[in-house]
Structure 1
Amino acid sequence: MAPKAEKKPAEKKPSTAAEKKTSKDGAGDGKRKKKVHPDIGISSKAMGIMNSFINDIFEKLVVESSRLARYNKKPTITSREIQTAVRLVLPGELAKHAVSESTKAVTKFTSS
């Protein structure tokens, strides 16, 4: 039996001070919230709650979309599975709005 080739561990780049900085509000550079309500701030506690909420919804959508892909014997989650998961997980009008906005985003992405 031939001896296995030894792999060297991947070299890490030295981290810079800029990489270590984190946003106080957790929203990147704050562009999203500033576009919607430029005159309103959000506390770090409220941002933490919003972050937990978004992560929870994301997890529910991933679980449902992977269940749909498995049910249809597909190895890949596509926008179709995500869209169906959104319709199943989110309530009525919120699901309709999410599907509308996501369709617009996918169309913009594929056309560019």
Structure 2
Amino acid sequence: VLLGIKMSPEPLKKKHGRAAASGEKRSKRKPKRKETFSVYIYKVLKQVHPDLGISSKAMSIMNSFVSDMLERLAAEAARLAHYGGRATLSSREVQAAARLLLPGELARHAVSEGTKAVAKYTSSE
């Protein structure tokens, strides 16, 4: 007996899937992490308007918008690849999907930025 605590000869083993014995504390499980685009949205905001901030509600809306657009882009690119009898998405399908989904000038800007990003990636390899 040490400081009023009775020591058992063998360490207590935790039983998984059962309630903890009296006196034992169960470790709380961390909630699953939610992947968001918040960091990137914030970086773009600061590039465009360094003096502005964004509320958490507005950030949530922007996050939903980005997720929705990426989902649409991926679905359209997959559909185009399927029509072409291909199993792999290439930049060609993504570019065509962007042209189909985005209106006029926005599509042209997206295609030029995408081309620039792919060129930068291939040159860095």
Are positions 1:96 and 2:96 aligned together? no
Q: For each residue in 1:28-51, what CA deviation from the matched residue of structure 2 results, as whole angstroms up to 9, or x when unmatched?
A: 694332222211000000011111
> Does residue 1:107 correspond to 2:119, yes or no?
yes
Spell out, residue by residue over 1:47-78, the C-alpha distance to the aligned partner (whole angstroms, 9 max, x if none).
11111111111111011000000011111001
Do residues 51 (structure 1) and 68 (structure 2) align?
A: no
Residue identity (%) = 58
In structure 2, do the counterparts of structure 1 residues 63 and 35 end up closer, same or farther at CA, with 3 Å as the change threshold? same
**How many angstroms apart in 2 are the aligned matches of 1:99 and 1:71?**
21
Which 5+ residue runs of structure 1 have no aligned equivalent? 1-19
Q: For residues 107 and 68 of structure 1, what CA distance do their matches in structure 2 show?
A: 23
Q: Structure 1: how far apart are the matches of 2:60 and 2:41?
A: 16
Q: In the aligned structure 2, how far is the partner of 1:29 from the partner of 1:70?
A: 31
In the TM superposition, structure 1's runs of 4+ consecutive aligned residues that sit over 6 Å from their partners are: none
Q: Which has the larger radius of gyration?
A: 2
**Aligned letter for 1:50?**
M
How many residues were matched structurally?
Answer: 91
Q: Deviations over 1:61-107 (max 9, x none)?
A: 01100000001111100100000000001111100000011101110
| Aligned match of 2:29 | none
SS in 2 for 1:93: helix
Distance 2:74 2:87 in 1: 14
Q: More helix per residue: 1 or 2?
A: 1
TM-score by length of 2: 0.66
**Structure 2 counterpart of 1:17:** none
Correspondence for 1:15: none
Unaligned runs of 5+ in 2: 1-32
CA root-mean-square deviation: 2.3
